[in-house]
Amino acid sequence: MNGLQDLQITVLFRQGDAKGYAALADRIHAAWEALGKGPLAGAGMRLAGESLLQVKVGASLVPTLAQSFAITAALIFVVFLFVFRSATARLLAMIPSLFAILATFLGMRIFGAALNVATILIATTVLGTTENDQIHFFHHLHEREGAPLAEALLHALRVSGRAIVFATVINAAGFFALSFSTFPPLREFGLVTSAAFLLGLVADFTALPAGLWMLDRARRRA
């Protein structure tokens, strides 16, 4: 041990969230205290690493995520009221975006992806981008206002459906290009965001028309 000044030990583990790092840090500190009574008495130990920094940043940004998402949703809601003057249409228009966001975070939870400095931006990015499709959809839907819902839906899908598909695929491809980055958080951001766009596209042609059908049926019964 004579002449030993620095010793670096790399620890690999799978549970890469805030709780996992906290449990790992406690076990490392406990092991170090046990070793400190022997030949390492008087030496100091410090936990460091890029992954640890990313987890700490992600945990500190969770409140910011909730605030930014709420502000973005409120602003889009207000703008949609000025454009279409319909609170019901506004809420229905959020179905694809909310479906994509919830499914994305559920997938991240299942596959063990943690929130970090990049993936924390997914919710507001998906919400702000996918709402463009809803504006086009409802704009053409209102062109047949007063007509039966089937006719209005067919018109909206025929006029804006192809444009929505192309725009979503282009956005997904653009964010997918980030998956080739060497920076892990940016790579995860690109992969997850592109997948969220595709999920929103699926909801555009399934969940959104279904919500409109349910609302129309409730109105006719009333």
DSSP code string of 168-191: HHHHHHHHHGGGG-SSHHHHHHHH
Measured CA to CA, the distance from residue 190 to residue 185 in angstroms comes to 9
**Domains of the chain, each with CATH number or no CATH:** 1-48 (no CATH), 60-221 (1.20.1640.10)
pLDDT for the residue numbered 197: 92
Q: For residue range 34-64, list pLDDT tens digits in order.
A: 766 566 666 777 776 666 666 666 666 666 7
pLDDT for the residue numbered 202: 92
Measured CA to CA, the distance from residue 17 to residue 52 in angstroms comes to 9
Q: At 208, which helix (H) or strand (E)?
A: helix 207-221
pLDDT at 89 over 90: no
pLDDT for the residue numbered 37: 59
Q: For residue range 6-42, list pLDDT tens digits in order.
A: 667 776 666 555 666 777 777 777 777 776 656 666 6
Confidence grade of residue 1 (pLDDT, cut at 50, 70, 90): very low
- Residue 21's contacts (CB-CB under 8 Å, 6 or more residues apart) are 51, 52, 55, 56
Confidence grade of residue 172 (pLDDT, cut at 50, 70, 90): very high
